Structure 1
Amino acid sequence: MSKKPFRFSVESWSVEQQNKEYETPIFNLFKHRLRLNSENIEGDFYIIDAPNWVNVIAITADREVVLVEQFRFGVDKPSLEIPGGVCDPGESPLETAKRELQEETGYISKKWSSLGKVSANPAIMNNYNYFFLAEECEPNGTMNLDQHERIKVHKLSYQDFLDRVEDGTIDHSIVVAAVAKLLLRET
């Protein structure tokens, strides 16, 4: 891994005006009027203001990955994913990760490490997704699902989990990004 930081060189746009166009319980939509000073041009850009998220690759002592199956309304079908959720106000990403793992799966871990973060979609979103590895996970028997969550917990062997990512059964882009971070850590 290169220790030398990348030097970004494109000019930043400046915010001339911003307006909240729409508000929902999970995100706000802003319209920004931006200006590129060197070329004296302006344009309207839309930004989704969303809270940070976390996702957890949870592995048991037997090297099984704890997954959640749930219906996803955006694609109108079930999805197989790693546990995760939204950071509550004032909550650190690690605190969120621990809470979401327990709430969605009934599993806990005492062995946590960060796998880093990614920008969810920097073209239109301002939030980050934080990834964690929880090892030696064990069930504590207590799930605490949100009102609209209907989750079925699955355990797959580590290799079967990777195979499901490779064959597209697991196709959630943020889950795939978490797997990439994990595999890069292992190299």
Structure 2
Amino acid sequence: VILVKLLSTAGTGTFYARSRPRLSPKLSMIKYDPSLGDSDAKWVSLQRLVYRDHHGEERVWECANRRTRTGVCDAAIIVPILRTSTERRIVLVRQFRPPVGKVCVEFPAGLLDPSESAEETALRELKEETGYVGRVLHTSPVVYSDPGFSGANLQYVYVDVDGTRPENEHPAATPDSGENIDVVTVPLADLAKTLQGYIDEDMAVDARLQTFADTATFLAMPNGPLTAQTT
């Protein structure tokens, strides 16, 4: 049995309509069971793949895949841009993630239900996890989140959230039982700095969110690495 310390959830002042997070102070990791077999797993399948490489040699690869996929895509990752009269903010969630033993800062996200599109999943999960409603701006192709480890895939769904709509003035989330989610909105201009603050508080940051923040920072740099150079 591995015991992990209770997690600090001190706020940084970027929370919507409150100054401190609502994550339960009881969140912690209690037990790690290394003996879970594939037949006992409900959500994940452990697999050993045999394939031929470019030399024709037979090789083995171990991987994990979700059991829940019913179509071509596992999940929708939602990138919600909250528009107010004065600024653009990004809507994020913070929740305890047992595999890393920490509160993780992420984009809202969810698994696709049977016969559901990524866009439908995105709007449903955005409302459930954050209380916000919006309209889809763009959906990415199906992409793979960690192809060296898993075949799990996803689609990014960019959503416009109009902060002037009455239903978005005081959004009320309706998370599933067992979900303890804190909603934060962060000015886009401050995203990278805010994420570093969370890391300094011993929280985890989802790699996809960090990449988004770093890209936005580079694009905003005059003569930066992603800025078109002129002569």
Given residue 172 of structure 1, which amino acid in structure 2 is its aligned partner? D
1:76-95 equivalences in 2 (<5 Å): 76-95=101-120
Shift in CA distance, 59/37, structure 1 to aligned 2, threshold 3 Å:
closer
* C-alpha contact 1:116 1:181 (8 A) present in aligned 2: no
Q: Quick check: 146-155 or 86-95, which moved more?
A: 86-95
Partner of 1:175: 209
Shift in CA distance, 56/49, structure 1 to aligned 2, threshold 3 Å:
same
Match of 2:78 among 32, 38, 56: 56
Shift in CA distance, 167/150, structure 1 to aligned 2, threshold 3 Å:
closer
Given residue 82 of structure 1, which amino acid in structure 2 is its aligned partner? F
* C-alpha contact 1:107 1:141 (8 A) present in aligned 2: yes
% same residue: 23
Given residue 77 of structure 2, which amino acid in structure 1 is its aligned partner? N
Task: Determine the C-alpha separation between the residues in 2 that align with 1:55 and 1:78.
Answer: 18
Shift in CA distance, 32/115, structure 1 to aligned 2, threshold 3 Å:
closer
Task: Determine the C-alpha separation between the residues in 1 that align with 2:206 and 2:91.
Answer: 16
Q: How many residues are matched?
A: 167
Given residue 112 of structure 1, which amino acid in structure 2 is its aligned partner? L
* C-alpha contact 2:89 2:185 (8 A) present in aligned 1: yes
RMSD after superposition: 3.0
Unaligned runs of 5+ in 1: 1-19
Unaligned runs of 5+ in 2: 1-36, 221-226
Partner of 2:135: 110
TM-score normalised by L of structure 2: 0.61
Partner of 2:188: 158
Residue aligned with 1:161, SS: helix
Deviation track 1:121-153 (CA, whole Å, cap 9, x = no partner) reads 111211212112211344274422122210111
Residue aligned with 1:101, SS: helix
* C-alpha contact 2:136 2:160 (8 A) present in aligned 1: yes
TM-score normalised by L of structure 1: 0.73
Deviation track 1:61-118 (CA, whole Å, cap 9, x = no partner) reads 2212111111111121112222112222222111111111111000010242224553
Deviation track 1:13-32 (CA, whole Å, cap 9, x = no partner) reads xxxxxxx9445232211222
Partner of 1:44: 60
Going by fraction, where is strand more abundant, 1 or 2?
A: 1
Q: Quick check: 114-123 or 79-88, which moved more?
A: 114-123
* C-alpha contact 1:101 1:108 (8 A) present in aligned 2: yes
